[in-house]
Structure 1
Amino acid sequence: MTLVLASSNAGKLAEFRSLLDGTGIQAVPQTEFGIVDADETGLTFIENALLKARHASAATGLPALADDSGLCVDALDGAPGLYSARYAGGHGDAAANIAKLLHALRDVPTARRTAHFHCVLALVRRPDDPAPIVCEGLWRGSILDAPRGAHGFGYDPVFLDPLLGLSAAEVDPATKHRVSHRGQAMHALRQRLAAGMPGY
Structure 2
Amino acid sequence: MRILLATRNPGKLVELRRITEAAGLAGVEIVGLADVPDFPEAPETGATFAENALAKARDAAVATGLPAIADDSGITVDALNGMPGIFSARWSGTHGDDEANLRLLLAQTSDVPDDRRGAAFVCAAALVTPEGADGVSPAEAAAEGTGPGRTVVHGTWRGTLLRAPAGTNGFGYDPIFEPEGETRSSAELSSEEKDAASHRGRALRALVPHLQALAGA
Aligned length: 199
Which structure 2 residues correspond to residues 12-91 of structure 1 after superposition, within 5 A?
A: 12-21=12-21, 22-24=24-26, 25-32=28-35, 33-91=37-95
Matching residue's letter, 2:168: A
Over the matched positions of the two proteins, sequence identity in percent amounts to: 48
Contact 2:157–2:199, Cα closer than 8 Å, also in 1? yes
Higher relative contact order (CA 8 A, sep 6+): 2
Contact 1:7–1:37, Cα closer than 8 Å, also in 2? no
Q: Which residue of 2 aligns with 1:144?
A: 162
Return closer, same or farther for 1:199/1:89 CA change in 2, 3 Å cut-off.
farther
User: How much does 1:199 deviate?
Assistant: 7.8
Matching residue's letter, 1:134: V
CA distance in 2, matches of 1:74, 1:85: 18
Matching residue's letter, 1:77: N
Q: Which residue of 2 aligns with 1:160?
A: 178
Return closer, same or farther for 1:154/1:35 CA change in 2, 3 Å cut-off.
farther
CA distance in 1, matches of 2:15, 2:171: 10
Q: How high is the TM-score relative to the length of structure 2?
A: 0.84
- Between 18-27 and 43-52, the greater mean CA deviation after superposition: 18-27
**More helix, by proportion:** 2
CA distance in 2, matches of 1:89, 1:10: 25
Moved over 6 A (4+): none
User: How much does 1:11 deviate?
Assistant: 4.0
CA distance in 2, matches of 1:54, 1:17: 21
Return closer, same or farther for 1:147/1:14 CA change in 2, 3 Å cut-off.
farther
Which runs of 5 or more residues in structure 2 are unaligned?
Answer: 137-146
CA distance in 2, matches of 1:42, 1:199: 32
CA distance in 1, matches of 2:210, 2:31: 21
Q: Which residue of 1 aligns with 2:140?
A: none
Superposition RMSD in Å: 2.0
Return closer, same or farther for 1:187/1:152 CA change in 2, 3 Å cut-off.
same
Which runs of 5 or more residues in structure 1 are unaligned?
Answer: none
